[in-house]
């Protein structure tokens, strides 16, 4: 009997040693993986920082008010970004108004209302796949559908709708992920006090998920801001020395829609135009434009992170 006890003790000790060795090995693997991931992040940040510093150093002479207030010119020293940044602003306005309401509503429907069957699974798979489709495909789709099919022309409306289609899957996916992060107890408590489905969605689901939704929207808009391929495909101008009509007028009804059909250019297109010039002075303008695009993109992403933190901090679970 004593020999059996000794054997059992030895077996337990061996098992404990094996478990300790396995835990030690897993911890070592975790540290190795974390180190590799940290190095990969640092490498990416270092590459971005190097690119940004290089652009700033090259484009530093053009960082002044005139660069933002002057139209493009054949003389590099007097060329500016006025028509480009105004065009980008108007295109982003159309993109926001088309993609965000549809994307958020679609995400809410798929997550809260759609029946869980093969059809909703098919929609979910297709939405996820569309988020990874190259942007040039959206440009070709817009060229055939909006420019030639609907005769919208090479206009701000066409560009906004194109970029809206581009970021629509991103908005839908981010909306669904934000909704899924809400604890199920929130819904159960609302239903327990007699709330209807719409009241739960309006007063609880949207409220608690708005931080994640805003984050996805801003990240999608920042991606649309820097897109070039679909805008070139639909025929954006590379040189434009005028501004579209103002969306707001002094006459009743104080809103003007003529700007939607106006020709346009955007910041990435203007940068591409200057890079294609042989004169080095235009390359300085392009470097300054690239630095501005990076700064705006970082500010938008930083705003998304700040809003998410602020909203989550103020929410009382």
pTM comes to: 0.82
- Per CATH, is 64-314 categorized as 1.20.58.340? no
Contacts 24+ apart (CB under 8 A), 217-220: 217/96, 217/100, 217/103, 217/104, 217/171, 217/174, 218/300, 218/301, 218/303, 218/304, 218/307, 219/170, 219/174, 219/300, 219/301, 219/304, 220/99, 220/167, 220/170, 220/171, 220/174
State the pLDDT at residue 154: 83
pLDDT average, residue stretch 81-85: 87
Q: What average pLDDT score do residues 284-293 get?
A: 89
**Distance, CA of 213 to CA of 162 (rounded, Å):** 21
Instruction: Please give the residue that has the higher pLDDT: either 22 or 286.
Output: 286
Task: Specify the pLDDT at position 304.
Answer: 79
When mean pLDDT is compared across 18-32, 172-186, 211-225, the lowest value belongs to 18-32
Average pLDDT score over residue span 237-265: 78
Query: What integer best gives the mean pLDDT of the chain?
Result: 83
166-190 exposure pattern, b = at least 16 Cβ within 10 A, e = fewer: bbbbbbbbbbbbbbeebeeeebeeb
Angle between helices 206-225 and 280-314 (to 10 degrees): 180
- Per-residue pLDDT, 8: 62
Task: State mean pLDDT over 160-184.
Answer: 89
Q: Give the mean model confidence (pLDDT) for residues 41-59.
A: 88
pLDDT at 12: 61
The predicted model gives 185-212 an average pLDDT of: 84
pLDDT of residue 276: 84
pLDDT band at 95 (very low <50, low <70, confident <90, very high): very high
Q: How confident is the model at residue 262 (pLDDT cuts 50, 70, 90)?
A: confident
Q: Please give the residue that has the higher pLDDT: either 250 or 11.
A: 250
pLDDT surpassing 80 at residue 285? yes
What pLDDT score does 280 carry? 85
Higher pLDDT, 97 or 120: 97
Across residues 46-70, what is the average pLDDT?
87
194: left (phi over 0), alpha (psi -120 to 50) or beta: left
| pLDDT given at position 101 | 92
Q: Residue 316: pLDDT band by 50, 70, 90 thresholds?
A: low
- 317 vs 314: CA distance, rounded Å: 9
Per-residue confidence band for 259, with pLDDT thresholds at 50, 70 and 90 = confident
- CA torsion angle for 230, 232, 238, 243 (degrees, to 10)? -40
Structural contact between residues 291 and 56, judged by C-beta atoms closer than 8 angstroms: yes
More confidently predicted of 146 and 250: 146
Residues 117-135: tens digit of each pLDDT? 888 888 888 888 887 788 8
Residue 43: pLDDT over 80: yes
Dihedral sign for Cα atoms in the order 88, 93, 98, 103: positive
Residue 5 has pLDDT above 80, yes or no: no
pLDDT for res 315: 63
At residue 96, the pLDDT reads 92
């Amino acid at each position: 009997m004593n020999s059996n006890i000794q054997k059992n003790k030895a077996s337990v000790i061996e098992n404990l040693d094996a478990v300790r060795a396995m835990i030690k090995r897993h911890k070592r693997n975790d540290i190795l993986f974390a180190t590799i991931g940290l190095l990969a992040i640092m490498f990416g940040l270092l590459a971005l920082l190097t690119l940004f510093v290089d652009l700033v150093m090259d484009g530093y002479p053009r960082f002044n008010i005139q660069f933002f207030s002057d139209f493009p010119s054949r003389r590099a020293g007097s060329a500016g970004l006025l028509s480009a940044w105004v065009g980008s602003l108007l295109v982003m306005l159309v993109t926001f108004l088309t993609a965000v309401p549809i994307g958020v509503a679609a995400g809410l429907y798929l997550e809260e209302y759609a029946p869980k069957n093969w059809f909703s699974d098919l929609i979910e798979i297709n939405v996820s796949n569309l988020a990874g489709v190259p942007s040039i495909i959206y440009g070709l789709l817009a060229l055939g559908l909006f420019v030639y099919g609907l005769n919208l022309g090479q206009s701000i409306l066409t560009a906004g709708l194109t970029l809206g289609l581009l970021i629509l899957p991103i908005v839908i996916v981010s909306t669904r992920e934000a909704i899924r992060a809400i604890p199920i107890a929130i819904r159960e408590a609302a239903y327990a006090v007699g709330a209807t489905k719409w009241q739960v969605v309006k007063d609880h689901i949207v409220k608690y998920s708005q931080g994640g939704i805003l984050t996805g929207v801003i990240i999608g808009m920042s991606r649309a801001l820097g897109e070039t391929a679909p805008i070139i495909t639909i025929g954006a101008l590379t040189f434009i020395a005028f501004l579209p009509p103002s969306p707001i007028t002094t006459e009743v009804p104080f809103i003007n829609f003529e700007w939607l059909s106006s020709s346009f250019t955007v910041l990435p297109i203007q940068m591409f135009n200057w890079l294609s010039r042989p004169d080095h002075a235009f390359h300085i303008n392009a470097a300054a434009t690239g630095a501005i695009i990076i700064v705006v993109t970082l500010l938008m992403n930083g705003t998304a992170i700040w809003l998410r933190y602020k909203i989550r901090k103020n929410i009382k679970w």
